[in-house]
Structure 1
């Protein structure tokens, strides 16, 4: 698979629309460039030319979310050596419309005619095709219809429809508009066109919920810029079910994961809970409506289980991995759902509406999460075509022994035991408040037993001392790879104060801390590689989750230190934090090395800004 790289491209988004381009604003159709509605590309190319003039790109402004501005100088040697003509290309997307405005300013003392040529190529490639580097699927332009002054085309039995407003004509394989703008002396002229898209067959679309509020004051400090950009992106990532548009959730990320992901949406909502608890409540509702009710090996569904992801069609990731449109292959989404519910209740919100879903989730935790009866939550793909690893590090090579070899399934991840412990304790408190004392006692005892087992089976040691193992393998041996997973135990209650101190110290050791955040895998591991997806890179949300745990455990100084490292990394990414980046040490490189295929924006990476701000304020 030749997955396109994204690190040099620019994204604007307002779900379900997104547009990816070069930094000069041109959409060339290369890689992932194009305009999308959900998981389908609508345009592969959107090119601007200035007739008989040379255009020199100068800078790009990406404030986050729906807008980007691309600046260039138009060469005008007849007016002297100074740049006399400035071109600004503004791209803005709403939920169903892309608007492109080309503005030209001139310092010349005479009127200047400027010929603009805009070339578009309609497309119907799927995101799956594009991610695999396959050839696109251009539209047969002979099928286009004219409505008024615009052009219209549709596909998927007319469930998806695009309309282009502007003076466009069909020229071969392109839609071309040729216009002349007259730039007045020392004045400005502009030209605009719009592309509107509707998709009535997608599982998710735009939300009508109120957006997250941006900071009231704009101090232009690094933290302020990170918060503003991140919140704009989070607003652009909000989606909803068509029949319940008020219940917003965060799509996991752009472009590859522009849909509902149980784990991602829950963690993102948890990270922004202090800023906006409403997204937590609506995320819980969306996922509870799709909670498992039966046992299905093909989809990994089980009663009470929270799903992993929803797509429009079956997703073929490679020759062996094929995920059905609604897929439940995740070990951690269900306890994370309970954890978010407990945290939401702690804000004072009335969460009684979720009692049936909570009881169903607890039933899954008790009856289905532990397939072999050893007392731990573990996973193994039973279908033969699902995900091999089903924690947040879900790549096939992510669970490593210290010697670099891969652990064999079924796998019991350390952090999932922490999630389950926190979920059980928190649920007991809710049930007690609702008058079910017997169930509260049952779940506190369940959590205490899990705590004892965890301490007996997961703790290992190396030259630096004791630490929680990454996982237990198929033979119930503790997988001794030192990894960031242990940081997710902080704040779950499964660690004593001394054990929490041990975990924090290990995470801050130079083998785990890159200076830009916490590495996914220690540099001492034989499988470490700083550009490895889950085996040495730094994931923004992973580090933020650890910061949150540090704050919950009272390690405020350490949380502030790591938050400052993330903020420093953000400066190197123009304050739009990517999904992940290289684990090279900050003493050797700035900015951090981009991971080329990383989503940017990614919901839980953007949501991390809220935790960074909280840590730096404490």
Structure 2
């Protein structure tokens, strides 16, 4: 089965609801003027409520025929505008004189579509406008796996409405003024329209969606777009930040009542649309970490929501272990889905080797950015449990954090951020055998242990010296085992395989080691230089795998494509370690990609070069790439912060602002950054740095 492609679809988001339409505007297709209501017919297209697709077909006709689409475009993060022309109506002339506009707006409760039929014809127009709807109420796993599902027969109400219901999911349609007819699996909403010359007609219909089994819901907007103002000499940076903030607002979610846990409902960033519209450990943590310059509230709530579900026992079926942070939270599968084997993962799944360390890193960084002690202290027992999991995992892995993959045949074979089945390869293209110890995972663990030691000391808890020593020993082991000499020089292996041999391919993974403290200054400089070589850096961002490796393919998910967040993590670490060239080269690549994608940067894009053999004038979309994706959008803020060089230490009473020297983006100003809950303004122009705002008060500023 093939995963559906997304590159030409148009999305509208209002968690937990999302609408994906085809490039012409319809959802689904027409066969003899009847929508085709099968999952395989339109892939991801449809109206989704959480993990269930409510509508699989939404097709408008005028006079019994499909109008010709001329525009399907986003209208903000939560809207779509579809414009089509009815070529068989109106004047007998070359220019179209009758057009249909469909203004769609999703909300956490469903969808409203406003229909507008506009005539500029010289003669009256009499016709019918019909909206054809079909529902399959199918689980996301089914559609993502490329499988089909039968439509669910609609139920017509006595009051003229129509709806669908199954397994706790319901959808109800109200269409004032329409004649509602059910034909097999399709509900038809029809309005009779009579237009005098130059007139316009309008009507609307609404769908209300409910999922009694939902574990996540929408969260209030944070107002980030109004808070943060950016001006840049290279205007693309400001545009990327602005669009990203809009998309990030549309990815804010919270847990729901029964699943909220003892710490209550808390906000987090859903990983991305359409497939990952829920809580993820790794993705939500990285997104919150990148967004710390906007305030610590999101970090605090993300930490709490994951702490509430931290592992307490050993469960091989879900991957749960004491102290471990989860990978993914989903709606429980229905009995039919369980029986049919379409539920790929358990609803609460712990198959991740890095989320636990990243949780600790986020707590430490949020504390440095000014998270109040009252928010930190309740999380310290969870910190200690996470550290014990790290130590146990490393002892079990021969000194390194490893994962064994899906031993039971279900779950993820690779459990780092590169989680596809072929993500860990040798330079000759062979797949590495597990258990696998990824290089970046050791960096996260080192950074977590050092940060945790500082937290434990500051809050008068035991263990600080133990964890500093643990981190130091890990760094020594890493230095002995992960560095390799190859045809491309000395570099860090992507991983150790089951035998402990370093897997010698050149990849982006070592970029995540920058800024973690695991590397010596000389090693950090060597990693940074390797990242900006053309075989890794010429794909408008950082390629996941060098183009010189046997397994390289520019449209391989983790073997040559470019992931925005991966590049941004390397940029952030390079800035922290003082590698200006790497920051400038990789940032310039991301800005090129952002411009090409209209500043809604997707999950990943092709790693083709700009010029030379195989070069392309614009980045090639990865056809199954999610967008918006939280850590891709949050990368805009991370890159901005790295370029400005803002590094607060509120507990230590310090604020360092060290802009990247020579970055080719001109003057840069940001107002509305947040340090310790107060605004901060930073301006960089002609080599001078200005820092002002309440966020700097009471801190020793070094600029």
Normalising by the residue count of structure 2, what TM-score does the alignment of the two structures yield?
0.82
Distance in 2, matches of 1:337 and 1:92, equals 35
Residue matched to 1:23: 23
Matches within 5 A, 1:329-408: 329-350=351-372, 351-372=376-397, 374-381=398-405, 382-408=407-433
Residue matched to 1:473: 497
Match of 1:266 among 272, 280, 285: 285
1:389-434 deviation per Cα after TM superposition (whole angstroms, max 9, x unaligned):
1111111111111111111111111001100011011111111110
Residue matched to 2:347: 325
CA 1:529 to 1:321, structure 2 compared with 1: closer, same or farther past 3 Å?
A: farther
- Does 328-337 or 344-353 show the bigger shift? 344-353
Q: 5+ unaligned residues in a row in structure 2: which ranges?
A: 29-40, 644-664, 669-683, 685-703
Match of 1:118 among 123, 131, 134: 131
Residue matched to 1:61: 73
Residue matched to 1:277: 296
1:133 aligns with 2:146: yes
Matches within 5 A, 1:105-504: 105-108=118-121, 112-141=125-154, 144-146=155-157, 148-156=159-167, 159-166=168-175, 167=178, 168-183=180-195, 185-208=197-220, 210=222, 212-214=224-226, 221-243=235-257, 244=260, 246-313=265-332, 322-350=344-372, 351-372=376-397, 374-381=398-405, 382-436=407-461, 438-504=462-528
Name the SS of the counterpart of 1:205 in structure 2.
strand
* Contact kept in structure 1, 2:90 and 2:98, CA below 8 Å: no
CA 1:489 to 1:175, structure 2 compared with 1: closer, same or farther past 3 Å?
A: same
Name the SS of the counterpart of 2:585 in structure 1.
helix
CA 1:139 to 1:585, structure 2 compared with 1: closer, same or farther past 3 Å?
A: same
- Superposed displacement of residue 223, structure 1: 3.3
CA 1:150 to 1:321, structure 2 compared with 1: closer, same or farther past 3 Å?
A: closer
- Aligned pair count? 611
Distance in 2, matches of 1:102 and 1:45, equals 17
Name the SS of the counterpart of 1:274 in structure 2.
helix
Name the SS of the counterpart of 1:213 in structure 2.
helix
Distance in 1, matches of 2:160 and 2:102, equals 23
- Superposed displacement of residue 444, structure 1: 0.9
Normalising by the residue count of structure 1, what TM-score does the alignment of the two structures yield?
0.93
Distance in 2, matches of 1:108 and 1:227, equals 44
1:594 aligns with 2:621: yes
CA 1:320 to 1:246, structure 2 compared with 1: closer, same or farther past 3 Å?
A: closer
- Does 551-560 or 600-609 show the bigger shift? 551-560
- Superposed displacement of residue 371, structure 1: 1.3
- Superposed displacement of residue 140, structure 1: 2.2
* Contact kept in structure 2, 1:107 and 1:185, CA below 8 Å: yes
- Superposed displacement of residue 164, structure 1: 0.3
Match of 1:84 among 97, 110, 113: 97
Distance in 2, matches of 1:216 and 1:105, equals 39
CA 1:557 to 1:181, structure 2 compared with 1: closer, same or farther past 3 Å?
A: farther
- Superposed displacement of residue 54, structure 1: 7.0
1:562-594 deviation per Cα after TM superposition (whole angstroms, max 9, x unaligned):
222112112222222111111111222132111
Residue matched to 1:609: 636
- Superposed displacement of residue 170, structure 1: 1.1
Pairwise CA RMSD: 2.5
Residue matched to 1:564: 588
* Contact kept in structure 1, 2:225 and 2:242, CA below 8 Å: no
- Does 596-605 or 237-246 show the bigger shift? 237-246
Residue matched to 2:699: none
Name the SS of the counterpart of 2:105 in structure 1.
strand
Distance in 2, matches of 1:221 and 1:83, equals 38
Residue matched to 1:12: 12
CA 1:179 to 1:252, structure 2 compared with 1: closer, same or farther past 3 Å?
A: same
CA 1:52 to 1:173, structure 2 compared with 1: closer, same or farther past 3 Å?
A: closer
CA 1:354 to 1:538, structure 2 compared with 1: closer, same or farther past 3 Å?
A: same
CA 1:568 to 1:214, structure 2 compared with 1: closer, same or farther past 3 Å?
A: farther
Residue matched to 2:106: 93
Matches within 5 A, 1:522-537: 522-537=546-561
Distance in 2, matches of 1:280 and 1:295, equals 27
1:481-539 deviation per Cα after TM superposition (whole angstroms, max 9, x unaligned):
11100000011011122221111111110111134111111111111111111111111
1:426-449 deviation per Cα after TM superposition (whole angstroms, max 9, x unaligned):
11111111013x411111111111
Name the SS of the counterpart of 1:549 in structure 2.
helix
CA 1:324 to 1:101, structure 2 compared with 1: closer, same or farther past 3 Å?
A: same
Distance in 1, matches of 2:10 and 2:295, equals 27
CA 1:221 to 1:186, structure 2 compared with 1: closer, same or farther past 3 Å?
A: farther
Distance in 1, matches of 2:633 and 2:317, equals 33
- Does 424-433 or 586-595 show the bigger shift? 586-595
